[in-house]
Amino acid sequence: MFRHVLWPLRGFETLRALGDGPTTLYPVRNLRYWFPRMFLEQLHAQLRVPLSVLEVGIGEGKMLAFMGGPKLPDERIGLPDWIERWDGLDVTFQRAALDRFVYTRFIEGNVEAACDLEGRRYHAVLLIHVLEHLFKPEHAMLRLLDVLYDRGRIIGGSPTMPDAFAYVHEPLLRWKHRDVLNDATIHRHISVMTPGRVKRFARRNRLKIDHLAGAFFLRASGLCFENSGMWLRSNLLWGAMFPSLGAELYFSVCRNR
């Protein structure tokens, strides 16, 4: 899957304008927001309706900032016109950091346990750097399939590595963080998502993988390299060729209908 290597590099300017993160033009770190945005743009082009989105694990709201919504009279950042609603689900919320963004609704809950979605349906569910913090990431994704429209997508992203290393690394992570495994408010890496794991999840549940790619070979945070679109695209090319060696993994899956 190489088509994303030439996708437009949109959204990077929005975080710079807010003064969040590096001042370079194309920080590789922000690919964690770029992939979901581009997946959503592709979905909108396919469905041709304004999208309803559920973001799981929203942190300081940087994913919504990256969407490039308009600045409103009250100085908050609104939703782009092709997004109908944007709900946020998390176990806790950093309210002060989120006041500048227009979330449609905040939902407090644990995606692995009880979370009340009140029968809402979404075109997309975002799990960006969330799955590695879950004890049973596949179980969470299966639960979230139930809130999707028929042509909806689960969009995920997390650190990655080859399967052979993950089989050793994941037990070590769980042993290291064994004292906080049941505390969803303490965010530790306890699972390892790999391309093989995503493919097995899709195959077992008869899902279609729209896109799956690694992100980068080398992250030179804040250095002059990150002012070059070619540097960013060369990292994307590496991730496309070697997903399990791309440092981070991004994917979009849907029901195979």
pTM to 2 decimals?
Answer: 0.95
Domains and CATH numbers, the chain: 3-255 (3.40.50.150)
Residue 21: predicted pLDDT: 66
pLDDT one digit per residue (tens) for the chain, 257 residues: 789 999 999 999 988 877 766 789 999 999 999 999 999 999 999 999 999 999 999 988 999 999 999 988 988 899 999 999 999 999 888 877 788 899 999 988 888 876 677 778 999 999 999 999 999 999 999 989 989 999 999 999 999 999 999 999 999 999 999 888 877 778 899 999 999 999 999 999 999 999 999 999 998 888 899 999 999 999 999 999 999 999 999 999 998 76
Residue 257: predicted pLDDT: 65
153's tokens: 């997508």
Q: Which of 155, 152, 120 is nearest to 257 (CA)?
A: 152
Helix (H) / strand (E) containing 153: strand 148-159
102's tokens: 């227009």
251's tokens: 């994917």
